[in-house]
Amino acid sequence: MFSLIIPMYNEEAILPATLKTLHAYMEANFDDYEILFSDDGSTDRSREIVETCGLPHVRVISYAKNRGKGCAGRQGMLAAKGDVRLFTDCDLAYGTDVIRRLYDMFLASDYDVIIGSRNIGKDGYEGYTPLRRLASKTYIRVLCAVGGFRLSDSQCGFKAFSAKAAEAVFSVCETDGFAFDFEAIMTAVALGYTIGEIPVKIVNHRASKVHVFSDSLKMLRDLADIRRRVRARHRAK
């Protein structure tokens, strides 16, 4: 089975379109799949919309208090049933065509983790302003240097894990905020899992929910704690 995991928080405005698009795509491209929405304590009708959509292979998990995208991603990864588990954003920022390409790459390779990269290929940052492109690339370089891993795009919100890797990685991750990508990758590297990358590009430029300055500062503060936790777990083994 293939699991597609969608972390969400107050997404009632776009959920009907997302559900329609995903259901049509998955029905056309997969025989055995689930679409799992992980609700991060939404205060609007997000959970109700998914629960009452009436579409097969679609389910939702939720918890009462908003804790952050990292918590929603982690809970979704652990609740999923698939042999391959992919999370992507509710607005389908990277489109749908790349989903099957990633799954086929999993089947044809020995990778335990495959992540999307906007830095492979020429059009990964298509639609970005020059300043935003520069800021994103610089930030990614800093994160990879701090984490000690060689990847071209650690922060892309399009990542897939084998069931074994997902359960090993997300059962020990603790970060609830946007730095959860960093902790997940650093943990996967520490556990010896192999990581591949697949080119992606943003096709839906919805206004970001990330507050550039405040969230970036919080992420930078989180990095030292994450690195300390991951290294402590690794030494304890």
148-187 tens-digit pLDDT: 777 878 778 899 999 999 999 999 999 998 789 889 999 9
Q: What is the pLDDT of residue 9?
A: 97
Reported as a pLDDT band with limits 50, 70 and 90, residue 72 is very high
Tell me the C-alpha distance between 128 and 202, whole Å: 9
Q: What are phi and psi of 60, to 5 degrees?
A: -135, 140
pTM strictly above 0.75: yes
Tell me the C-alpha distance between 128 and 32, whole Å: 36
Tokens found for residue 162: 């084998």
Q: What is the pLDDT of residue 30?
A: 98
Q: What is the pLDDT of residue 144?
A: 67
The CATH number of the structural domain formed by 2-236 is 3.90.550.10
User: In this model, does residue 116 exceed pLDDT 70?
Assistant: yes
**CA distance from start to end of the chain:** 31
> Whose CA is closest to 89, among 2, 18, 191?
18
